Amino acid sequence: MNFTITSSDPLIFRDGRPFGEQGHVHGGALRWPWPSTVSGLIRTRVGEQRAKDYFTGPDRLKNIEMIRQVRNCCLPLWRKEFDQDWQPLFPAPADAFCFQGEDQNTNDLNIIPFSYQAADQMGGTDLNLSNWMIPTREVNSKPAKNKPDLWFKDTFLYWLEHGKLKQRLWQPENLGLGWPQLELRIHTAISAHTGTADHGRLFSSQGIRLESGGIEETPGYFAMGIQVKGIESNDHLEGSCHLGGERRVAAIEKTQPFLPPCPAWLNNKKYLRLILASPGKFGGWVPDWLIPDEKAEFKTHPGSGIEVRLRSAHVERWQAVSGWDFEKHGPKAFSKLVPAGSVYIIELKESSKSQILAEKSWGKSLNDDPDGFGLTFIGNISF
């Protein structure tokens, strides 16, 4: 089933790390929630509908194990006008290099793909992999600062199919959008004795507005699109809810399916690109089943049994996540995430099975994560 989460309040999301940690300012404010935040909302809502003491009663541990069967994946949705249909947005692929020419007088972006050379031709890598392909680019420019964080669906799917865009120059607003901007609010504490403002006790909060329209924003509406599996026929998600910090009010509504179907142009491909549409929680820079070794052996894809091996990757700086554990009644261990938009380039042992692999992986978690981390889409590539 497919739902949207919308809100007219500034929603507060944080990465869950403790306040006061070195280098950790503004409470780890996020411009979009982690998948675990959304899955936590869905599971809590379902559990509390089933029983008021679902998470606190004598069957608490059994219930927690059952509620983990409720899974979801999440994508940002967008529409420019209130009466339009929702359209999915996708994180900008890390294998698309965006830059501005030195002689440019406009904000237009140059979008080009990377090319690849064997590691032994480039001096090798610290991975000590003889068959590793190193990404190279035709220009030595710095990445553009005004590049969109999110791409529109048609542009993203064209990039997946062709490995490049129809044209090299793009205006940022035609390519995609940025994440919602953080809105800073200053508050004053209320005295418990007088019920009035407590002089000098100020604090701030940063939240995102899903209704955009600021000076640097394209006017329109964001929503969180969620696809939920594992709920029972008498579980009802629609209605108002509390989401994120300070229990801001949001609304859950049913919607039409928003994930694009797996295309047919992935057949008989020797190489494929795996692109993350949500951050990956792998415990490292790549899922365990895909970690390359010095012997360059093929690995078995857990969802299909097809043999593949990793040939190259585009992975940017890690992101932090923590959270609250209902089972242990305490904070979860700090984890490092692979950013959304990261790309893994794999080689198939049998190219005839590429379409099967794509259908088993398209719109699913790369490591079968129950919270929706590692949502994956597949693209073509040729060396």
Query: Does 325 have pLDDT greater than 60?
Result: yes
Distance between the two ends of the chain, CA-based, in angstroms?
A: 39
Residue (of 4, 61, 62, 66) closest to 38 by Cα position: 4
Query: Does 19 have pLDDT greater than 90?
Result: no
Tokens 């509406």 map to which residue?
221
Query: Does 17 have pLDDT greater than 70?
Result: no
Query: Does 21 have pLDDT greater than 70?
Result: no
Query: Does 48 have pLDDT greater than 70?
Result: yes
Band of the pLDDT at 15, cuts 50, 70, 90? confident
Give the Cα-Cα-Cα angle 126, 97, 377 (nearest 5 degrees): 85
What would the pLDDT profile of 131-167 be if each residue is shown by its tens digit?
A: 899 999 888 888 888 899 999 999 999 999 999 999 9
Query: Does 104 have pLDDT greater than 80?
Result: no
Band of the pLDDT at 202, cuts 50, 70, 90? confident
Segment 284-292 shows an average pLDDT of 94
Q: How many residues does the chain have?
A: 383
Find the range with the poorest average confidence among 67-81, 110-124, 287-301.
Answer: 110-124
Q: What is the pLDDT of residue 228?
A: 95
**Are the CB atoms for 254 and 62 separated by under 8 Å?**
no
Segment 336-360 shows an average pLDDT of 96
**Are the CB atoms for 225 and 88 separated by under 8 Å?**
yes
**High-pLDDT (> 90) share of the chain, %:** 61
What would the pLDDT profile of 179-199 be if each residue is shown by its tens digit?
A: 998 888 887 888 888 888 888
Query: Does 248 have pLDDT greater than 80?
Result: yes
| CA distance readout (Å), 55 to 247, 322, 327, 333, 366 | 19, 20, 8, 20, 29
Q: What is the pLDDT of residue 126?
A: 74
* Mean pLDDT over each residue of the chain, to the nearest integer: 89
Find the range with the poorest average confidence among 80-84, 254-258, 306-310, 376-380.
Answer: 80-84
Distance of CA 274 to the CA centre of its chain: 13
Residue 135 token pair: 């990404």
**Are the CB atoms for 70 and 46 separated by under 8 Å?**
yes
Find the range with the poorest average confidence among 255-259, 298-302, 328-332.
Answer: 328-332
Q: What is the pLDDT of residue 205?
A: 78
**High-pLDDT (> 70) share of the chain, %:** 94
Band of the pLDDT at 293, cuts 50, 70, 90? confident
| CA distance readout (Å), 266 to 7, 115, 378 | 38, 20, 8
Band of the pLDDT at 309, cuts 50, 70, 90? very high
Q: What is the pLDDT of residue 181?
A: 86
Task: Return d(Cα 206, Cα 1) in angstroms, integer.
Answer: 31
Task: Return d(Cα 4, Cα 372) in angstroms, integer.
Answer: 15
Segment 187-212 shows an average pLDDT of 84
Q: What is the pLDDT of residue 184?
A: 82
Cβ-based neighbour number of residue 158 at 10 Å = 15
Segment 288-317 shows an average pLDDT of 92
Segment 225-250 shows an average pLDDT of 92
Q: What is the pLDDT of residue 200?
A: 80
Q: What is the pLDDT of residue 362?
A: 97
Q: What is the pLDDT of residue 18?
A: 62
More confident residue, 383 or 142: 142
Q: What is the pLDDT of residue 101?
A: 76
Query: Does 24 have pLDDT greater than 80?
Result: no
**Are the CB atoms for 123 and 147 separated by under 8 Å?**
no
Band of the pLDDT at 214, cuts 50, 70, 90? low
- The sheet carrying 169-170 orders its strands as 96-99, 109-113, 169-170
Q: Helix/strand/coil (H, E, C) string of the chain?
A: CEEEEECCCCEECECCCCCCCCCCCHHHECCCCCHHHHHHHHHHHHHHHHCCCCCCCCCHHHHHHHHCCCEEEEEEEEECCCCCCCEEEEECCCCEEEECCCCCCCCCEEEEECEEEEHHHCCCCCCCCCCCEEEECCCCCCECCCCCCEEEHHHHHHHHHHCCCCCCEECHHHHEECCCCEEEEEEEEECCCCCCEEEEEEEEEEEECCEECCCCCCCEEEEEEEEEECCCCCCCCCEEEEECECCEEEEEEECCCCCCCCCCCCCCCCEEEEEECCCECCCCCCCHHHCCCCCCCCEECCCCCCEEEEEEEECCCCEEECCEECCCCEECCCEEEECCCCEEEEEECCHHHHHHHHHHHCCEECCCCCCCCCEEEEEECCC
Tokens 């497919």 map to which residue?
2
Segment 242-261 shows an average pLDDT of 93
* Dihedral sign (CA 15, 21, 27, 29): negative
| CA distance readout (Å), 33 to 86, 208, 210, 373 | 19, 10, 12, 12
